Amino acid sequence: MAETRSVYIVAAERSGDLLGAGLVRALREQAGDRIQLAGVGGQALSAEGIESAVDIAGLSILGFFDGLKSLGLLKRKVADTVADILRVKPDMVVLIDSWGFMLRVAQGVRAADPSIQLVKYVGPQVFATRPGRARTLAHTVDHLMTILSFDAPYYEPHGLPVTFVGNPTLDRMPTGDGPSFRQRHGLAADQDVLLVLLGSRSSEIRRLWPSFEGAVRRLLSHRENLQPVFLVAEPVRDLLLPKLQEGGWLHVGEDEKADAFAAADMALACSGTVVTELATVGVPTVTGYRLGWLTWAIMRGLRVMKAPFISLVNIAAGRLLVPEFVQTQCRPGPLAGAVEALLDDPQRRASLQTELMAATRELRGEGDASRRAAETVLGLLDPR
């Protein structure tokens, strides 16, 4: 790439912001001052010097009716993002995850300036739900960089080129210091540590808190050796901390994430990326999730869900390595029962550790996914 080229990166929520930051670092390492970068994102991109042209607060939306309630906000943020892209006029826009928002941005840019290359980074999970999105995406963007090795057959028949780069999230998993974590927080070496993770969206905290807290209280009622530790994601810190402080729960921030993972005997986690992260380092996990009731009813009625599992780890393994409790099953009793069954079976936990780590190797790919994503972007900018 002899001449200077420009790339505009768009991330609308925490996970995409982290992926974008990794891509920025890799692009600078490979292209240096031959690449100009701008974009929309959060704290992670800001830390890399990409000051967001649009405030992404409030865009972490999940569920049909949550989306309807925020439709006005969504439309304004899309319009502002498209306007800034057209002002910058980059050679390429990289749109990270966040299906609904990114689709609208892509359509707006494509209609106004078809000369700008559009690359989607992380495709919608059409293997699990709404396969028609594959065709829609193929008609909207020029290329898909996927973090899942089994995505390509869903998109390529519609004419969309796909590059599997691997999952950068799993590359970021450092080795933690479990003994140090226990010592800092006054936990005995033989104490059972249950890591509790409630998600990074406000809707997840509201819907999961009663079930997760209730499950932990049930476990504590007859397990004196159990110590729950709540790991608080930064985007929901202000919402979750008052609940934890009121209950006197031990909690830590994301700066202690690696050490907390290393110290945990088990985890109770909101379904999502964190379940895959826990599996990568071999932490046996029970997961739960709740959608809004109307969204859930529509999905059930229309049989939208196609995959047999909700966790990527289980999908990759083809079997239930992580017990799943969704909607009506996501209650204190079933969650506590599943956690207790594993706490009472050290041999099963030991075998799960090996199985979970094996299942995530395919999801991780060859490693250094941000580097391969950057190589893909630069190759598309300079196809020679």
pLDDT digits (tens, 9 = 90+) for 165-216: 988 878 767 889 999 999 999 999 999 999 999 988 888 999 999 999 999 9
Task: Please tell me the predicted confidence (pLDDT) of residue 13.
Answer: 86
Domains and CATH numbers, the chain: 5-166+365-381 (3.40.50.2000), 178-364 (3.40.50.2000)
| Residue 74, helix vs strand vs coil | helix
Distances (CA, A) of 117 to 21, 158, 212, 354, 377: 20, 18, 44, 42, 10
Distance CA 202, CA 74 (A): 17
- Cα–Cα distance measured from residue 287 to residue 310, given in angstroms and rounded to the nearest whole number: 9
Tens digit of each residue's pLDDT (9 = 90 or more) over 105-152: 999 999 999 999 999 999 988 876 678 899 999 999 999 999 988 889
Q: What mean pLDDT is predicted for residues 16-45?
A: 95
pLDDT at 62 over 60: no
Q: Report how far apart, in Å, the C-alpha atoms of 81 and of each of 19, 41, 88, 340 are.
A: 18, 10, 11, 47
The pLDDT assigned to 149 comes to: 83
Number of H helices and number of E strands within the chain? 18, 12
Task: Grade residue 72 by pLDDT with cuts at 50, 70 and 90.
Answer: confident
Q: Tell me the pLDDT band of 331, cut-offs 50, 70 and 90.
A: very high
In 3D space, the residue among 295, 293, 317 whose CA is nearest the CA of residue 307 turns out to be 317
Residues linked to residue 5 through DSSP beta bridges, in sequence order = 35
> Among 128, 104, 61, 105, which residue's Cα sits nearest to residue 314?
128
Range in 102-106, 247-251, 311-315 the model is least confident about: 311-315
Tens-place pLDDT, residues 262-314: 999 999 999 888 999 999 999 999 999 887 556 545 555 555 555 677 788 89
Structure tokens, 264: 């945990």
Euclidean distance between CA atoms 245 and 227, whole angstroms: 16
Q: In this predicted structure, what is the pLDDT of residue 346?
A: 94
Run of H or E including 36: strand 35-40
Cα gap 230→197, rounded to integer Å: 6
Sign of CA dihedral 97, 103, 104, 106: positive
pLDDT of residue 382: 87
Are 216 and 268 in contact by the 8 Å Cβ rule? The answer is: yes
* Residue 229 near residue 219, CB atoms below 8 Å: no
